[in-house]
Amino acid sequence: MNSSIALHISRFVLLVLLQVLILNHINFLGYINPYAYILFILLFPISNNRQLFILLSFVLGFTIDLFSDSGGIHAAACVTIAYLRPMILKFTFGTSYEHQTLKIGTSEIGPRITYFTIIILIHHFILFTLEVFNTSNILLIAKKSLFSSIFTLIMCLILTVLFSRNSK
C-alpha cells in the first residue's frame, strides 16, 4: 500500500513537471500543446473513495493553473472528468468494471483508447471553453480542443505503453 502511494505521489510530481516545463512549450503549429498530465486522472486506481479522487484531481489542476497563469481552468476541467470518470468507465469497459476486476494498465487496447478519447475530449473542451470565455469564438474553441486532443491522446498512449512494459 505504501509503495503504491509513493508511486502516485511521484507520478503526480513528475507529470506536473513534465507538463509545465516541457509540454507547455511545444506549441506545435503555433498553438497545439498536449496536456498529458491528465494521465494521472486516467490511470488513478479504481476504488470506492471518489471524494479523495475528486479532491486530488482538483489539486492537480490547481497546480497546473498555478504554473501557467490560467486562473482555474485546468482545475475545473480536471474536477469534471474526475466526477464523470465512473460513468465513462462503466460505458467503455462494461462488466469488468462492475466486477471490480479492472486494471487500466493491463486492459485491452480497444476500450482503453475509447476511454482515453472520451475523457480527453471532455477535458479539452471545458479547458478551452473557459480559456477563451467567449461564445462568439466557438470555432476557435472547437479547433483548439480537437487538435490538442489528438496530440494528447497520442502522447498518453505512448507514455502508458512505455511505462507499462516494466511492470510486466
Partner 1 sequence: MQQIINFILRNKSFLLFALLFALSIFLTIQSNSYHKSKFINSANALSGGVYNLTNGITQYFDLKEQNEILTEENNRLKSILYSNHGYQESEVDSLPYVPNFKFITATVIKNSYSAYNNYLTIDKGTKDSINVDFGVISSKGVVGIIDNVSKNYARVLSVLNTKSRINAELKKTNHFGSLKWDGKSPEVVQLIDIPKQAEIKIGDTIVTGGLSTIFPKGIPIGSVQSFNLDETGNYFILDVRLFNDMTNLGNVHVIENINAKEILSLEPTDE
Enumerate binding residues for partner 1 (CB under 8 A).
17, 20-21, 24-25, 27, 30-33, 50-51, 54-55, 58, 61-62, 65-73, 75-76, 79-80, 82-83, 130-133, 137, 140
CB-wise, 38 or 111, nearer to partner 1?
38
Nearest approach in angstroms of CB 22 to partner 1 is 10
Cα 151 to Cα 27: distance, rounded to the nearest angstrom: 11
Phi (first) and psi of residue 41, to 5 degrees: -75, -40
CB-wise, 34 or 111, nearer to partner 1?
34
Q: Pick left, alpha or beta for residue 94 (phi over 0 → left; psi -120 to 50 → alpha; otherwise beta).
A: left
Alpha carbon 158 to chain centroid distance? 14
CB-wise, 9 or 17, nearer to partner 1?
17
CB-wise, 12 or 107, nearer to partner 1?
12
The full DSSP string for 48-114 is: S-HHHHHHHHHHHHHHHHHHHT-TTHHHHHHHHHHHHHHHHHHHHHTHHHHTT---GGGS-HHHHHH
Nearest approach in angstroms of CB 25 to partner 1 is 8
Nearest approach in angstroms of CB 141 to partner 1 is 10
Nearest approach in angstroms of CB 48 to partner 1 is 10
CB-wise, 114 or 137, nearer to partner 1?
137
Nearest approach in angstroms of CB 50 to partner 1 is 4
130 by Cβ neighbours in 10 Å (0-12 / 13-18 / 19+) ranks as middle
